[in-house]
Amino acid sequence: MIEQEYNNLISVALRVRESIIRMSGNGGCFIGASLSCADIIVYLYAKYLEVSHENINNPNRDFLFLSKGHDVPALYATLAEFRFIEKERLSHHLHINDNIYWHPNTSIPGIEFHSGSLGHLLSVAMGVAYDCLMKKQDNRIVVIMGDGELNEGSVWEGLLVASALKLHNMIIIVDRNKFQANMRTEELIPLEPLENKFVAFGWNVQRIDGHDFFAIGDALKICDEHRGTPHVIIADTIRGKGVPSIEERADRWFCNFTNNDIDSLIQELYGNESKQLDSSIFHVR
């Protein structure tokens, strides 16, 4: 990757994070998880997935399934950057007359399937992957999952079956931000050692820094070269990445910020000092 491409990725990711922050007011959104997976989603659309706003129905396109649907602001913002939807439409977030709501739905061009209930899209993606292999097409099927989502039994059921069916055209990227809702994963249902679990289920496993574009690119390249088993990339990330005042804070899961706070967070994103936030904190547990 040449320097100019790298700098471009950095710029796109910054703009995506700014859009995510702007969606965290007037009703709010799941900002922490959206910020943690932003670099992964930006890289996928910028450099990896063979899909564009001009070929969203092409049967030979690559597929992205967002299984942990609550981080969809990162996807909305990225789809806007890559012209699947008008950027203006992001300002319709939570408007009753549009469909830019808290979880993904297929009325948004580029969104392949709805999600929201965790542990569903692995198996849905497996159906697509199986059909592509039957048709001898070389589509790549990427599924983004949360680490908390790995609590769901249907995930491990799907992992077993995908391995048995040798769906080597599938890549799971786990956004390993180490939080689920208002808890640290390791304090609730510990996942580590996580690589070993996927290896035991027959998957080709890599573990990377999920904010390092070079590492994301290298890992995806290995997936393309390695045939025979499905792939999982455990991407270690930071919840709230890019905005230090909410990074790695269990209490900043779903946030509904005031306009003042949003201004402060955007300044923080672009390198200014963090400020005291006034908005109330939501707890589910």
Site for another protein in 1-60 (CB under 8 A): 59
Rounded Cα distance between 68 and 151, Å, is: 12
The least CB distance from residue 15 to another protein, in Å, is 30
> Which residue number, 9 or 132, has a Cβ lying nearer to another protein?
132
Residues 49-68 interacting with another protein (rule: CB under 8 A): 59
Q: Which is nearer to another protein, 129 or 171 (CB)?
A: 129
| Number of chain positions touching another protein (CB under 8 A) | 27
Is there a contact between 31 and 93 (Cβ–Cβ < 8 Å)? no
Site map 108..137 versus another protein, x via CB under 8 A = ----xxx--x--xxxxxxxxxxxxx-x---
Site for another protein in 81-110 (CB under 8 A): 106
Which CB atom, from 93 or from 114, has the smaller least distance to another protein? Answer: 114
Q: Report if residue 160 touches another protein, rule: CB under 8 A.
A: yes
Residue with tokens 């995806």: 220
In terms of CB distance, is 123 or 274 closer to another protein? 123
Q: Select from 117, 123, 87 the least CA-distant residue to 102.
A: 117
Buried b / exposed e along 128-146 (16+ C-beta atoms within 10 A): bbbebbeeeeebbbbbbbb
User: Largest Cα–Cα distance in the chain?
Assistant: 56
Q: Which residues of 217-246 are buried (b: 16+ CB within 10 A; e: fewer)?
A: bebbeebeeeeebbbbbbbbbbbbbbbebb
Q: Which residues bind another protein (CB under 8 A)?
A: 59, 106, 112-114, 117, 120-132, 134, 154, 157-158, 160-161, 164-165
